[in-house]
Amino acid sequence: MAENEAPDTKRGRSYPEIIKQFNSLNAKILAVVLVGCLVGYHGILRFKDGSDTCQELLTKGRYQGNNLWQPYGCMIHSLSRIDANNCLRKTRFQTGEDSHWAFIGDSRIRQLYFEILKLVDPEAEPSVIVKDIYGNNLDQLLIDVPFRVSAIATEQTNVYSRPLEKAHSSLTYNNSELSFRMTFFWRPFFNQSAVDLIHQLGLSKSVPNVVIAGSGAWDIKLSNGSDAVLDVYESNLEQVAKAANNWPNRNSKLLWKLQDPVDSSKLSEQRQVITNDLIDEYNEIALRVFQHSRFQIWKSARLVTEGMVTADDGLHLNAVTLKHHVQMLMNMYCNERMGFDDGTCCRSAESATTLQVVTFTILLVCLTISSTWMAYRSFDLRLKQRRQSYRSIENLMEADETEEIVKDVMANGHAVQADSLGLDGKTSTRKAAVKDVESNSRIVVTALGKLGLIMAYFYLCDRTTFFMKENKYYSHLNFWVPIGYVFALGFFFHEESRSTKVLHRDQTDEWKGWMQLVILIYHMTGASQVIPLYMQMRVLVSSYLFLTGFGHLSFFWNGGSASFPRLFQVLFRMNLMTVVICLCMNRPYQSYYFVPLVSFWYLVVYIVLALPPKVSSAICEANPVAYLYIIIKLCSLLAAITILYMSEVFFQAIFLVRPWKALFVTSNDEIHEWWFRWSLDRYSICYGMIFGLLYLNAQKFGLIDDSARHHLLSRTRIRFLVVVAALLGLGGYTAFTITCHSKPKCNEVHSYLAFLPIVSFIVLRNVFGPLRVRYSSFFAWFGKISLELFIGQYHVWLAADTHGVLVLIPNYPVLNVMVTTYILVCVAHEVHTITGQLVPLAVPADWKKTLRNVILFFLALVPIAIHDGMF
């Protein structure tokens, strides 16, 4: 609403003042200050606790519900058997050495040994290591000679009647195919035997990569819970710590597993002396002794156990707890080697590439020039104010700016018009003149400087370990509560549009806005595992493409220009943020799949409608045969899409051609992701174009009337039937999503049914006049920056390229979401503003200048293309 307008009571609740406040500089300054405070806060945390994400994995964490364990500040990947085997093979390939794990302790450490073995090789059984005639283990003989026959029990020499999982003996497992060796050393007491074992392991030829040790329950049991044994236990651990400190191999990971709590109600009579109070005392000794030793205390293992029930005997761990322990160990060992997208624990940050360094250098130079110019302007203005104090501040500013305008205009070789300089003294004329003649280069440098600051924040969030990242966690409550809150706000702020047309600008902005907010919540909560929600999100993405087809066909049909500059203006708006992020974040263009998808389909629409014979409303009215042309074009497009879909070989032959191959492949040089996204919504753009053609002609021939605020259809019976059909369409697709239980099958059908819920929604939204002319100003505002929100979420709202969640405020998830959301919205709005400033400069209305800029852009990409092997 304009400032000089009287308030319209019919417009309902609106929030123009809120929008003005957010659009103001104060909101963005607040976001910058907030980011600065968060950077300082995390800097203090890193200085205090260290930046090692392995430390976070092994010390802190919490349950997120449904027995899902979340380490503190990092993401844990759930390794499958294939992942584990690939990790072991890759370790051999990278280091040229076998992976050697050693487990030292009692039956609870043995449980962990078998659980690791179950993950790596479920069908294997370890070999039992025999004892000598005095009952001493011969396991130390296998440290350097793992296949020593004399120390391994055969079927004849194996005298243990109990199963291996309960055998009081050392065990060994060797897998030459995986280059993996795992040994369990039965040491229920950490006495001199354990000290000698640690010492010998450290000096052996094959020093273990990982050592997991733990003891205490047997000391409590055999001492009958006597406190006198505590001093002996502490002395033994001190000797173990000294032996570990002498290890020459500093790359080995030595973990001391704290004793887990027991369930006294399930313990046998012989184990009743093992109490949690005594276990805590033993753990305190271990914490104190190993505080500054090579052994790292594995605290998070006990935290996992505290939240779970024990096994039936009250002493050992249940299967779920063991799986969490195994996943922590495998993440510790494999994440750095494998580089899992959703595994950031024990993983160092990516190294910056040359392209990233060059990009950030250019942006930094622009920021420096812009800041210097602003500082100079401020200093110069104050200096002149002091020298000419006899003049008023207002006249001084007018004179200064007029003088600079003259300099700028003369420098550019243009004639100076007196009325354009604001010499009449009118403020509005002066401001307009300043705006018109402001240097284009200054705008570009300032915009790029701001973009550089934003990209630096992107990089800090998602390409370093400075800020924390956590796994997504889905629950119905986590998903539906934000949805309800967002829609409550959307319905509260509503206005009456000045347009009465179907899918007018306010309505489409509203549609894009609420869809984008729902998609953000969907991504944040990891709701893709729920098939009905997954399929509904597919409809939302299809709706964007539907609106693209509808909007551009309507533009061309109504006589819009198909000029060369307009083509690149649209592409520039779509791609500026994505291209800059690709350069700064070292990610392929296809990582941000929606932008390539919508850009490709826009090019398709442009080619179909711009190439001769051109068709528009005026042409069809003058020559009805032109209707046949548009029908042939649409049928040809549908046929071409179908042929590409039916022949994946033909599809790859087109999209894997250099140099545009780089636009359609992932970082692994695979085109499957593009094939999946393209095929999933292959007909959506056509549905939008067909709907637009039918709507415009129905409007033209009087079948519908949206020129006023009354209902779209005048006849009540027809209107009723149309509404019922639309409700059946929405209900039918929803029923399909509920009854479909396989994503591949759902995706296969989706492309043929996507139009059904979309058209049904459009009908219900527009058939009634009062509903058609009202819209949510809240959603419409977000709709204007929907593209920037979608791309920005990858790195400053989510984390690890959308596989996790960015954590700026740990331990307060709701507050964290509020802060990250506010920063994301500020970033998206600023990038949207920057894009609007750069469009007329990067893509001028003059086609010759546009062609010049396009050529310069492609020339700038040549070195990158050559480096990446695009030619």
Closest listed residue to residue 115, CA positions, set 18, 260, 238, 212: 212
Closest listed residue to residue 598, CA positions, set 338, 787, 322: 787
Is 77 in contact with 340 (CB distance < 8 Å)?
yes
pLDDT greater than 50 at residue 145:
yes
Among 129-138, 339-348, 725-734, which stretch is predicted with the lowest mean pLDDT? Answer: 129-138
Average pLDDT in the 730-757 region?
93
pLDDT greater than 60 at residue 161:
no
Helices 427-437 and 393-411 meet at what angle, rounded to 10? 30
If one compares 533 and 205, the residue with the highest pLDDT of the two is: 533
Residues 6+ apart with CB under 8 A from 214: 104, 105, 106, 108, 109, 256, 257, 258, 259
Task: Give the pLDDT of residue 715.
Answer: 87
Task: Give the pLDDT of residue 387.
Answer: 67
Angle at 419 between CA 414 and CA 421, to 5 degrees: 65
Is 504 labeled as catalytic in the residue annotation? Answer: no
Summary mean pLDDT of the chain: 85
Q: How confident is the model at residue 96 (pLDDT cuts 50, 70, 90)?
A: confident
pLDDT greater than 90 at residue 858:
no
The encoded tokens of residue 412 equal 């550019």
792-809 pLDDT, tens digit each:
999 999 998 899 999 999
Exposed / middle / buried, residue 516 (Cβ in 10 Å: 0-12, 13-18, 19+): buried
pLDDT greater than 50 at residue 159:
no
If one compares 1 and 544, the residue with the highest pLDDT of the two is: 544
Task: Give the pLDDT of residue 416.
Answer: 46
Q: How confident is the model at residue 270 (pLDDT cuts 50, 70, 90)?
A: confident
If one compares 46 and 444, the residue with the highest pLDDT of the two is: 444
The encoded tokens of residue 523 equal 């991504």
Q: Are strands 210-214 and 180-186 parallel, antiparallel or unpaired?
A: unpaired
Is 279 in contact with 261 (CB distance < 8 Å)?
yes
Is 553 in contact with 693 (CB distance < 8 Å)?
yes
Task: Give the pLDDT of residue 9.
Answer: 39
The encoded tokens of residue 620 equal 């069809």
Q: Are strands 798-799 and 804-807 parallel, antiparallel or unpaired?
A: antiparallel
Task: Give the pLDDT of residue 4.
Answer: 37
Task: Give the pLDDT of residue 829.
Answer: 93
Which residue do the tokens 């809120």 mark? 18
The encoded tokens of residue 36 equal 């600065």
The encoded tokens of residue 71 equal 């380490």
Is 441 labeled as catalytic in the residue annotation? Answer: no
Task: Give the pLDDT of residue 3.
Answer: 36
Q: How confident is the model at residue 379 (pLDDT cuts 50, 70, 90)?
A: confident
pLDDT greater than 60 at residue 361:
yes
pLDDT greater than 80 at residue 31:
no
CA dihedral sign, ordered 771, 776, 777, 780: negative
Is 237 in contact with 128 (CB distance < 8 Å)?
no
Give the integer Cα–Cα distance in Å for 823 and 441: 28
Q: How confident is the model at residue 307 (pLDDT cuts 50, 70, 90)?
A: confident
Average pLDDT in the 819-825 region?
92
Q: How confident is the model at residue 421 (pLDDT cuts 50, 70, 90)?
A: very low
pLDDT greater than 80 at residue 151:
no
pLDDT greater than 70 at residue 640:
yes
Among 115-119, 265-269, 845-849, 864-868, which stretch is predicted with the lowest mean pLDDT? Answer: 864-868
Is 476 labeled as catalytic in the residue annotation? Answer: no
Give the integer Cα–Cα distance in Å for 103 and 105: 7
Residues 6+ apart with CB under 8 A from 297: 58, 59, 255, 256, 258, 286, 287, 290, 291
Task: Give the pLDDT of residue 411.
Answer: 46
Give the integer Cα–Cα distance in Å for 291 and 288: 5
**CA gyration radius for the chain?**
34
Average pLDDT in the 849-864 region?
88
pLDDT greater than 90 at residue 434:
no
Task: Give the pLDDT of residue 869.
Answer: 65
Q: How confident is the model at residue 398 (pLDDT cuts 50, 70, 90)?
A: low
Identify the active-site residue in 78, 107, 204, 528. 107
Task: Give the pLDDT of residue 409.
Answer: 46
pLDDT greater than 80 at residue 74:
yes
Identify the active-site residue in 100, 316, 523, 552. 316
Identify the active-site residue in 231, 280, 313, 669. 313
Among 61-70, 236-245, 461-470, 576-585, which stretch is predicted with the lowest mean pLDDT? Answer: 61-70
438-454 pLDDT, tens digit each:
668 888 999 999 999 99
Tell me what percent of the residues of the chain surpass a pLDDT of 90: 55
pTM of full prediction above 0.95: no
Average pLDDT in the 149-178 region?
67
Burial 348-382 (b: 16+ CB within 10 A, else e): eeeeeeebbeebbeebeebbebbeeeeeeeeeeee
